[in-house]
Structures are given as structure tokens and as C-alpha cells.
Amino acid sequence: MVQTGLKRALVEQLGVETWCGVHDRETHLLAQAQGITRSAAGVRRAWEKFGNDIILAIGDAPTAIVETTRLIREHGWRPQLVIGLPVGFVGTRESKDELRRCLQVPRITNSGTRGGSPWAATVVNALMIDAIGQVIAAQEAELQINAGA
């Protein structure tokens, strides 16, 4: 659901690859074989597929945060950023607390039961807008340097 909330123009302008593991066939099989949620299996597949070269955005499933922090602690996974903003009452508060204590990686979360995919997508969109702004500022600075040379 986070993926559907991303601004396509920003994704295309930055050349960002997106992937949602929840609906992936291999994720479904892994979840069945391991007796875990599809969200947790999707995180495990993201770890296997992308390694540390990933920004992970979680908007719905607390089990995805639990699996993320487990992989960070037990397997040394180091995503570039973890955005963990699930919504709900079952395990949500606890998973966010666990992510907040996970000091090995940069992370964005909140406290309590509020959140969801729209919140996580908004954070990713804001980061992409900021990245475009930084690229433009760097280009402008380079133009000024070249014009003064």
C-alpha cells in the first residue's frame, strides 16, 4: 500500500526502483513454509533481494517491523533507512518501541497506534522532494562556480 501512495513523477525523476514484497509469489510461499505473516516474509525477501541497499517503508504490519529489527540484530542487516509507521492496536505500539530502540540503523517512526501506509508514503514522498531540491541546489551551485571561472 505504501508503494501506491508514492508520487510517480518523483519516483521516475529520481530513477527510484520500488518493490512490494507482500504480493510477491515467493513471499507467499515463504510465509506458508515458515509459518510467518506475508509482511514478515516480504521483509525477509527484501533483505535477501536488496541487502543493505534499501530504504524500507512499512505502513501497515507491525510484524514487518519485528522481522526487520530481528534481521538487524541477528544478521547484521543495515538498511539505509527504516520507516516504520504501522497503524492498529495489536503489536503496533510495541513494534514501534522496538524500532525506536534499534540504534544500528537510521529510522523514522512515531509512538502509539496511529500511522498507516499513507503516512509512510508521505514520508517517502517528502524525502524524494528533498532529494530533488538538493540535486537542483547542487546544479545551481555548480553553474555559479562555472560562471565565475
pLDDT of 108-143, one tens digit each? 999 999 999 999 999 999 999 999 999 999 988 888
Whether the predicted pLDDT of 14 surpasses 70 = yes
Kindly report the average pLDDT of the chain as a whole number.
94
For residue 7, the number of C-alpha atoms closer than 13 Å in the C-beta half-sphere is: 13
| % pLDDT > 70, the chain | 99
Contact 83, 58 (CB under 8 A): yes
Q: What is the pLDDT of residue 143?
A: 86
Rounded distance between C-alpha atoms, residue 68 and residue 73, angstroms: 9
Residue 145: band (very low, low, confident or very high) from pLDDT cuts 50, 70, 90 = confident
pLDDT per position as a tens digit, 70-117: 999 999 999 999 999 999 989 999 999 999 999 999 999 999 999 999
E strands present in 48-106: 55-58, 81-84
Other C-beta atoms closer than 10 Å to the C-beta of 114 total: 12
Rounded distance between C-alpha atoms, residue 98 and residue 94, angstroms: 6
Residue 149: band (very low, low, confident or very high) from pLDDT cuts 50, 70, 90 = low
For residue 18, the number of C-alpha atoms closer than 13 Å in the C-beta half-sphere is: 20
So where are the chain's domains?
3-148
Q: What is the pLDDT of residue 58?
A: 96
Q: What is the pLDDT of residue 125?
A: 97
Q: What is the pLDDT of residue 38?
A: 95
- In CATH, the number for domain 3-148 is 3.40.50.10230
Which of 83 and 23 is assigned the larger pLDDT? 83
